[in-house]
Amino acid sequence: MANLMDNSDNKHDLYMVFNCANTKYAVNIDNVIEVMKLPALEYPQRIPNNSIGLLKYDNIMVNIFDIRFYFDIKIEKYNIYTKLIILKTDESIFGIIAQDIDDIISIEKDKIQLLPSTEEKSLIDSIYSFKNESINILNAYTLEDLLKNKTNDKKTNIKDLFPDDKASIQKFEERANYLKEKSNSTNLQNIFTKEKFLAFTLNESNYCMNLNYVKEIVKNAKISSLPCSADFVDGLIALKGKFYTIINLKSFLGLKKQDYKNKKNIIIINSEEFQLGFVVDEIYEIFELTEEEIFNDHFLNAAPFIFNEIVKNEKPYTILDMPDILNSDKMVIDDEKPVF
pLDDT in tens, 110-123: 888 887 765 445 77
Q: Model confidence at 207, in pLDDT bands (50, 70, 90)? A: very high
Element (H, E) at 53: strand 53-57
Element (H, E) at 77: none
Mean predicted confidence (pLDDT) in 78-84: 94
Distance CA 90, CA 112 (A): 23
Q: Model confidence at 321, in pLDDT bands (50, 70, 90)? A: very high
Say yes or no to pLDDT of 337 above 60: no
Q: What is the bridge-based pairing of β-strands 214-218 and 205-210?
A: unpaired
- SS3 of residue 23 by DSSP: strand
Asked whether the beta carbons of 176 and 39 are under 8 A apart, the reply is: yes
Say yes or no to pLDDT of 107 above 50: yes
Torsion of CA 62, 15, 208, 40, to 10 degrees: 30
Which is nearest to 285 in space by CA: 313, 321, 320, 319?
313
The pLDDT tens digits of the residues spanning 127-170 come to 998 777 889 999 888 888 876 776 655 667 788 889 999 999 99
The values of phi and psi at residue 88, to 5°, are: -135, 145
Per-residue model confidence (pLDDT) at position 193: 53
Q: Using alpha carbons only, what angle is made at residue 307 by residues 301 and 309, rounded to the nearest 5 degrees?
A: 70
Mean predicted confidence (pLDDT) in 304-329: 88
Q: Model confidence at 1, in pLDDT bands (50, 70, 90)? A: very low
What percentage of the chain reaches a pLDDT higher than 70? 82
Q: Is the pTM of this model over 0.75?
A: no
Per-residue model confidence (pLDDT) at position 8: 47
Mean predicted confidence (pLDDT) in 312-335: 81
Residues 6+ apart with CB under 8 A from 38: 78, 80, 82, 83, 84, 97, 172, 175
Residues 6+ apart with CB under 8 A from 224: 235, 236, 237
Mean predicted confidence (pLDDT) in 71-91: 88
Q: Within the chain, which residue ranges are assigned CATH 2.40.50.180?
A: 195-331
Mean predicted confidence (pLDDT) in 304-325: 88
Q: Model confidence at 3, in pLDDT bands (50, 70, 90)? A: very low
Options 1.10.10.10, 2.40.50.180, 2.60.40.4070, 3.20.20.140; CATH of 195-331: 2.40.50.180
Mean predicted confidence (pLDDT) in 36-45: 85
Q: Model confidence at 274, in pLDDT bands (50, 70, 90)? A: confident
Say yes or no to pLDDT of 86 above 50: yes
Per-residue model confidence (pLDDT) at position 151: 60
The values of phi and psi at residue 330, to 5°, are: -65, -20
Which is nearest to 279 in space by CA: 333, 313, 235?
235
